[in-house]
Structures are given as C-alpha cells and as structure tokens.
Amino acid sequence: MNKLTFITISSTLLFSCSESMPELPELPDIPNISESIELPDMPDFSSITDKLPSMSDIIPDVSVPTLYEDDVFQGSVLDRYSVNQLRIGMTKSQVSELIGSPSIIDLFHNNQWDYINFSTLHNKEDIRYRLTLKFDGELLTEIDKSGLGQLSPMSEEEIDKSEEIAKEDLARIAKIAEEKIIAEEKAKAEALAESKRKDEIRLANEAKIAEEKIIAEEKVKAEALAESKRKDEIRLANEAKIAEEKIIAEEKLKAEVLAEAKRKDEIRLAANEGSDLIRYQIKAGDSLSRIAYLNRTTVELIKAVNGLNSDFIMAGNFLLIPSNHKQYEVERIANEKAEAERVAKEKAEAERIANEKAEAERVANEKAEAERVAKEKAEAERVAKEKAEAERIANEKAEAARVAKEKAEAAELKAQEEIDKRIAEEKNKPWYQFW
C-alpha cells in the first residue's frame, strides 16, 4: 500500500470516530504527599525500555507532502583543485584545457575572462562564486580568487596532491632561483673576465703604443744625429776642400806673382840694354805675334821696346825688333810670371768664392740646425701633449669604468637582494598561497 494512501485512510477513520468516543470523568484531586512522605526509589527499567520499539516505528509519518524542486546550476562549474593549478604565464589554450571556457568573454575586453557560477540548490545554501583571469596577449598575468569563498573545498586526496605539487613548485622555484643565481654569478664572472681581458688588451695596446712612440722618438733622434753627423762630415769635407783649394790658389798666386815680377824685370833689363835691335818695316798682313815669331822674340818684348800699349799696328810703320837670343829665356820667364799672376788671381777669386760658399753653407747649416732643434722641440711638445691627453683620456676611461663597475655591482647586489627577498617570501608562504 502506498504511504500516501495509508495516511489518507487513517486520517478519515480518526476524524469519523472522534464524536462517538465517550468523555473521560474528572479525577479527584490527589493531595501532594511527596513533601511529607519519603517515597522509595523507583526501579531502573532502562534495560526493558531499550528493548521496546520506537514510537516512530509504530506511528506512521503523517507529514504534509510538498512539491519536488530540482537544483538549478547556472554558470561555470569549477573545482578548487583545478583552480589551484592555474599559474601565471599560462596560455589561453592551457587555461581552457584546465578549467574550461569562461562564462563571459567581453568582445571589447577580450583580455579578461570571467568564470561565474550562480546556482540555486533545493534545501541547501545557494552557490555564488566568481573567478577573474586577466591576460596580456596570450599569456595569463593576473588571477583574482577573491570571489571563490563558496567553492567546495578539496578532498584529502586532492590536498595531498596539492601539497606534492606545492613541494614540487617550491623545489622548482628554488632550482630556478639557484640556476638564476648561478647564471648571474657566471655572467658576473664572464663580465669581470671580459673587463679584465679588455683592460689587459688596453694596457697591452697602451704599452705597445708607448713602446712604438719611444722607438719612433729614438729613431727620430738617431736620424737627427745621423743627419747632423752627415752635415758635419760634409761641412768638414767642404772646409778641408776649401782650405786645400785656398792653399793651392795661394801657392799658384805666389808663383804667378813671382813669374810676373821676374818677367817684368827681364823685359825692363832687355829694353834698357838697347843692343841688337833690328829696324823692321811693317807689311800688309803683319801682326805682332807673326813679327815676334819670325824674329824669334816675344810680343811683350816688342811692345816694351817700341812703347806700344796695344797690339794695333799699321803697315808701312817701322818697329824695333830685339835680335838677342837671350830674349827667349826672358820671354819664358815673363810667360811663367804672367801665368802665375793669372793663377794667383784665379786662386784669390776661387778663395773668395769658397769663403762665401763656406759662409753660406755655415749659415744654412746653422739655420737647418736651428730648424731641426725647433722641430724636435715642437715634436717633443706635441708628444708630451699627446701623452698628457692620452693619460687624461685613460684616467677618464678608468674612472668611467670604475663608476660603471660600481653601478653594475650595486645593480647586481640589489637584484640579488630582491631575489633573496622573493625566495624568502616564497619559502615563508603557506602551501595554498603558491597558486
């Protein structure tokens, strides 16, 4: 028999029998004798009553029936275990594969996904929760779990898995931090090695430049000394040559002067003697040299005897020609003397020219030496300025390198402090805050 049918029939019978039942008589008042009379203790009937059937087993359920209401689930159905597996940096496809598609996607704000659940449960508390995810392009950047208060807690198995995942994440984070520290130390060591290598190269280049500069300076000095020595040798050779030429010219001049004096004396003596003179009539075509050749005498002697000042003669005139053979010797001596005088003049002229040339060379050498000294001085000043400028640039570079190194060390120290702080914060977080 159906329970509802039984309840209906029983209710009908009870209501139909209520008017025929007799009324119970009123019982007399019983005096309260509990205060004056001590009653004996009642026996314990619990062992008997426990064996009696319950009233609910005897009397049927007569509650009023109600209409059936089904649970209404609306929105995204999430579980905390899956939500806790979300990680910053996941792609949209990975998020969809893990917790499904979002409830709401705004076409104008497609970088935000909202998972909303608004479920009504029969005879239970309604479910209200919301999960908001924000993306930057395809990567997850922010997870808002503030609206997941009514989300069902995890089971023991899921908690154990989450703890294992948390430990794995801690180990992974520690490993990543350690690898990052190792990479930073390696990068720092490489940077220091590179800086050291660059410094060594720079110092080697500077040493090489300094050495080349010293070599160049020594070479310039050696060339200057060689040039000065060469000029001195040329000057000494020129001076020796000039002195030799001067001596030869002086000797030649002396010989010419002596020969000329001897010739003049002989001519003078021959002219004064006046003996052995021949009177000769000048013919057409004659000249003093022809007349002297024919008469075995000299032109100078004919001119001295006849008092001629030039070689011009006229046909028909008469000349006195000395016929003494001694005049050959006189002529030879006179010629030698004239030659000596000519050589002396040439030597004097050559000496004068040599002196002027030597003076000019000396002045040129002194000028060249002064120019060389000035050039060396200017070069030394330029080298000193370049060296000072190079030292200044090197000092500035060293200072800049030191400042950059200090900045890099400060930045590395700050980054290391940030890493240590983050690692400490991650280690101090409870396991459920890693998601």
pLDDT of residue 367: 86
Could you tell me the sign of the dihedral formed by the alpha carbons of 9, 15, 18, 19, in that order?
negative
CB 273 within 8 A of CB 330: no
pLDDT at position 18, please?
Answer: 46
Nearest-CA neighbor of 249 among 355, 361, 392, 119? 355
Domain 225-382 class? alpha beta
> How far apart, in whole angstroms, are the C-alpha atoms of residue 390 and residue 206?
9
Q: pLDDT value at position 67?
A: 63
* pLDDT < 70: residue spans in the chain: 1-73, 121-125, 263-276, 323-333, 427-435
Look at residue 1 in the predicted model and tell me its pLDDT.
Answer: 46
Residues of the chain with CATH 3.10.350.10: 225-382
> Considering only CA atoms, which of 158, 186, 181, 13 is closest in space to residue 82?
158
Q: Among residues 165, 150, 173, which one has the least CA distance to residue 82?
A: 165
pLDDT at 419: 83
pLDDT given for residue 387 in this prediction: 86
What is the model's pTM?
0.31
Q: What is the pLDDT of residue 264?
A: 66
Distances (CA, A) of 271 to 187, 253, 308, 325: 121, 26, 13, 14
